[in-house]
Amino acid sequence: MPEIEIGKISDFFARPVVAGIELTAPLKAGDRIHIVGHTTDMELTVESMQVNNVNVQECKAGESVGIKVSDRVRRGDTVYKVT
């Protein structure tokens, strides 16, 4: 499936398991993403997103968003949207 780069992981929190993403392209709840890095390879559907601790349905390029992830990701991992 084609993938478009939409950002990079900027933060990771273990409890709850949340990744911070610096977006370079828009992202919506329900989008399928693929996070890839040196030791990371994870695909998931974005179920919820937060900007400044407020739930949002979509984000624009240039925003920082937090999403729940199923496992550890690392700063600098690349985030792709699966189209």
Q: What is the pLDDT of residue 1?
A: 76
Residue 63 structural domain: 3-82
15: domain CATH number is 2.40.30.10
The structure tokens listed for 69 are: 């992830």
Structural domain total, the chain: 1
pTM for this model (two decimals): 0.94
Residue 14 confidence class, pLDDT cut points 50, 70, 90? very high
Contacts of 79 (CB under 8 A, 6+ apart): 5, 6, 7, 8, 9, 21, 33, 34, 35
* pLDDT, tens digit, 9 for 90 and up, residues 17-64: 999 999 999 999 999 999 999 999 999 999 999 999 899 999 999 999
